[in-house]
Structure 1
């Protein structure tokens, strides 16, 4: 794996060194090597501090399988969700339409719950959910592959934005910067936002923009980090911060309303996919304006 190489003064990159000890000169190095990035150790070896690490273990897992989608009688929806929510809703899942006429079914587990990886156990877990769409796909659609489980879900944020001074020509993005719990689907969106931001800043200012980029990229993480960790903290034994408790309480009320309010569900998905502000969830939906309770 390539290692970042700094100049003697440690104020800019001069390239990367590969495992064969060859130095490849570069004025710009972008570290996008994922959650197992070795950059913190590389910075220490180069005489710089390692970044502060924020970590939240969500104690969550998901188990997934792909199914064939029947195009002869398609349902009037593209995705359906049953969320987990601390402290009582330990099971959940989602079914999402994929390309090539396929369904992706993911079954969620929290606080010790985990969907089995054998077909009978997977089907029984799906049948235990209240969501009828997930149960229907698992019961009637043709499976197209094996069952996979991914556990130990949570988040970790390496605060490179706090390192001063930051080496010129070094940029970190994606999971190498911040791992967001994949259960909430924010990681690729945030990485894409960071890539666009980096491209714009490099076009305007060149490699000298990298320090400013790290500080700006931290702002793109504030909302998804807050959303995911507020939920994940609910599964930990210690008391969560007040802000996380309030966010989780509001979300619980929101999710109770979602199955009966399509407009609210659309807004919720827009926020979840980071195409709309969370403030849109505070506006009353048509159902609320007709006299229903607000979430």
Structure 2
């Protein structure tokens, strides 16, 4: 009788959930170990402290999620998630309001993070080979005698109804996937097994944000969705206002260089009043808030270079924020988690074609190297903005990245007057097209032309 194949995922956040969808195709049993106890209905939980804030699923991420879970988009809409025509969204870019045009992009589905995670967990539960092991804290990696292969994890479980009832257990698996987020302990676990921990690159612009949910009524209900970008180093404040399920609007304010939005009601409103356009302030000054103000400041960019390790154990994969965490204000996290899972699926399929079923030799190292290349573009996008804050700390951009930063500033100036440049930029932001399209002569000529024109920033009321 053939032995049952088993994969373990550390962490039940979106990266872990999407990875489990992929692993369910390749393994007989998939176990998701999560420290929290999942709520039965959409609700915040301790393991996702940023869930109360604005979340945007980019077009590329929406496409991948629909491939993983056919019909998911319709299910979200049926649960009340608004579908937004991109034409309805006002974007105050670093250079001013973008042109009012019809971008060739799919509608955005707006929802709370709690709703998305709940819907994905529900769909995963339909797979009889996916198992949720809640209340489990992974305390270390198990390895074979020579410590060349990871063989499982040691876990400390809490009882849902009696938290003081704790028991330890060793769980063995053919593949272990760390999707434990920024708090991942894999560097320490590798060191305990005799491996060098990965080098880390960190860039911190000290961006913080605060969010509040409002009832949809009055002036608020007449306000088009709006996103106001910062423009470091000169403009450190920004914000966004978008609808979510339940006839609610979420308002997120943010600031860099430690210019954090306050978490009290009066300070939150005053911060909104100081934004370069009054759109958000006018919408919320008399609106009915239905939650307190919640703040979040864990926004540093951190890249762990597992792909550079001279020695790396078999059967261990690290994905999501456990390997590459971006400043969440740029809305890349959920889409990159989907891309990570898609890459894992491709690597597992190629592994099956290359070796006998169940042979995972070389998979882990190859995956981490491919993942590092995949993260290059979103990482560069995030740090190119954050590196422009005066108080930014950590690694400094190399010459190539600095040139990209300067060129992108010209593109941002050009797009406020040119719908084609704006279209190209949005396609890159939504990861539909590669950044190379922004260097096409038709775009480059308009961008470089900003040097001659001076490309003055636009301030003030939204232009219709």
| TM-score of the two chains, using structure 2 as the length reference | 0.57
CA positional deviation for 1:90: 1.2
Greater alpha carbon shift after TM alignment, 82-91 vs 33-42: 82-91
Q: Find the residue that maps to 1:18 and give its secondary structure.
A: strand
State the distance in 2 between where 1:253 and 1:89 align: 17
CA contact (8 A) 2:220 2:283 kept: no
CA contact (8 A) 2:219 2:282 kept: no
Matched, 1:33 2:180: yes
Matched, 1:144 2:290: yes
Residue in 2 that maps onto 1:55: 202
Residue in 2 that maps onto 1:45: 192
Residue in 2 that maps onto 1:164: 310
Greater alpha carbon shift after TM alignment, 276-285 vs 183-192: 276-285
CA positional deviation for 1:131: 3.0
User: Residue deviations 1:188-242, cap 9 Å, x none?
Assistant: 2111111121123223325332221111111111011111112112224587543
CA contact (8 A) 2:198 2:309 kept: yes
State the distance in 1 between where 2:184 and 2:264 align: 33
Greater alpha carbon shift after TM alignment, 260-269 vs 228-237: 260-269
| TM-score of the two chains, using structure 1 as the length reference | 0.87
State the distance in 1 between where 2:288 and 2:327 align: 29
Residue in 1 that maps onto 2:425: 268
Of 369, 377, 389, the residue aligned with 1:235 is 389
CA positional deviation for 1:145: 0.8
CA contact (8 A) 1:57 1:152 kept: no
Q: CA RMSD in A?
A: 2.9
Q: Any unmatched runs of 5+ in structure 1?
A: none
Residue in 2 that maps onto 1:188: 334
Q: Find the residue that maps to 1:280 and give its secondary structure.
A: helix
1:87–1:12 CA distance, 2 compared to 1 (3 A): same
State the distance in 1 between where 2:215 and 2:350 align: 47
1:120–1:266 CA distance, 2 compared to 1 (3 A): farther
CA contact (8 A) 2:184 2:322 kept: yes
Greater alpha carbon shift after TM alignment, 37-46 vs 205-214: 205-214
1:84-233 matched pairs, under 5 angstroms: 84-205=230-351, 207-208=360-361, 209-233=363-387
User: Residue deviations 1:228-273, cap 9 Å, x none?
Assistant: 1121122245875433433333333444455555554444333223
Q: Any unmatched runs of 5+ in structure 2?
A: 1-136, 157-166, 352-357, 456-464
* Count of residues paired in the alignment: 291
